[in-house]
Homo-oligomer: A and B are copies of this chain.
């Protein structure tokens, strides 16, 4: 149609306008709805503190300080090729075959054709949402949860239904009856992260069986984010891929980022035995052509790391966890349940508002010219008003620095104007 006239309704009258006068050059509602990173909003305050000469202990982000194994960096450095070509859209076959060995070692039986290499765990989540969910569909996620699930849900126009787990029970899985209260005809999936970011919670065999029952009974997908699989301190992690009878329900979202301290590689994996889901995800993989080639070399080499490679890393994180949790619980009015995995802990603090407190720590406080940067827990809850007196701490610093950070927090809580008790 040429210059099609159409109607806009203004209060009280209806007027005819040409479309190019009515149409605005504005971003999408989706772009508006997209949440900014709840952690990064504090970055300017941290930068200002550093400019003033204050040392800032970063317990706010999940960037491990552990060295990337030199032999896997060397695999990239010595890779011999002349053209940096596209790989297969599902990732190099040699890497996928290697990954089968890795998964076997951790008790997961899969075929290389059931694996799509993704650009970080992030893309595995997007593929899962896109392949299984339509706009308006609902996913149930135990909260507090990894804040970026919100972002991926906005991209896919999917509705997140948070189900609250409590710091008092150490963030254990809510009861089946609580899940069933949340299920509506639009519910299509449950998302878990195990071990959990941000709580560090490690799901028990019993809890995994509970999830299995729910997803089978209600025909739901179970998206399982297992980025922290190896970071399990009190017993072994149980993968959703090990839930017998739920093979068609389960989609594993994996990444090498934390496992090998290779966050910048951007290599993850989308794994499922559900052929229909896999075929759909593959079409999304083809559209973006291929995952990054360099870090696939790194990931492939990582499967050959000695069996005991992870022992030292795990021991280091365990030491850190124990220091952190002990220091926190020794502080007046502070409660920190002992996290069984990952490298995060959630702590309840005697404060009015975690966003205000974390900003105050950077803006108005220092202890021996140092302060600590924490993540306010509000960003990890889907339910408004929760997390006001909780913070997430990532124990990605060595024990000395962790102690330095805890000294700051302890001193800060004594003088914080918004202290509640």
Contacts and interface: CB of A to CB of B under 8 A. Distances in A.
B276 A292 contact: no
Given A27-B276, A218-B23, A261-B84, A157 B155 contact: no
B86 A134 contact: no
A276 B261 CA distance: 34
A25 interface: yes
Contact of A287 (B87, B89, B151, B188): B151
Interface in A82-137: 82-87, 89, 119-120, 122-123, 126, 130-135, 137
A135 B289 CA distance: 23
A1 interface: yes
A381 interface: no
Contacts of A70: 82
Given A31-B130, A135-B135, 12 more contacts: A2-B180, A20-B218, A20-B219, A23-B218, A31-B280, A40-B286, A66-B83, A67-B82, A84-B265, A120-B289, A126-B288, A130-B155
B28 A133 contact: yes
Given A2-B181, A183-B19, A185-B6, A83 B261 contact: yes
Contact of A25 (B2, B36, B64, B249): B249
A152 interface: yes
Interface residues of A, number: 97
A85 B263 CA distance: 5
Contacts of A220: 23, 25
Contacts of A36: 283, 286
A58 interface: no
A296 to B, nearest CB: 8
Give the 6 A-B CB pairs with smallest separation, nearest first: A264-B293, A151-B287, A31-B280, A294-B294, A122-B288, A20-B218
Given A184-B1, A298-B84, A31 B292 contact: no
Given A68-B82, A132-B27, A3 B287 contact: no
A4 B188 CA distance: 15
Nearest to A136: B135
Contacts of A293: 264-266
A185 B27 contact: no
A283 B4 CA distance: 35
User: Which of A19, A85, A263, A287 has the most C-beta atoms of chain B within 10 angstroms of its own C-beta?
Assistant: A287
Copies of this chain present: 2
Interface in A227-259: 248-249
Interface in A257-281: 261-266, 274, 276-277, 280-281
A289 B122 contact: yes
A24 interface: yes
Interface in A7-41: 19-20, 22-32, 34-37, 40
A184 B4 contact: yes
A219 B25 contact: yes
Contacts of A371: none
A151 B286 contact: yes
9 contacts: A4-B184, A23-B187, A28-B130, A29-B134, A31-B280, A37-B89, A86-B263, A119-B266, A155-B284
A338 interface: no
A148 interface: yes
A397 interface: no
A295 to B, nearest CB: 6
Contacts of A277: 27, 31
A172 interface: no
A290 interface: yes
A348 B229 CA distance: 55
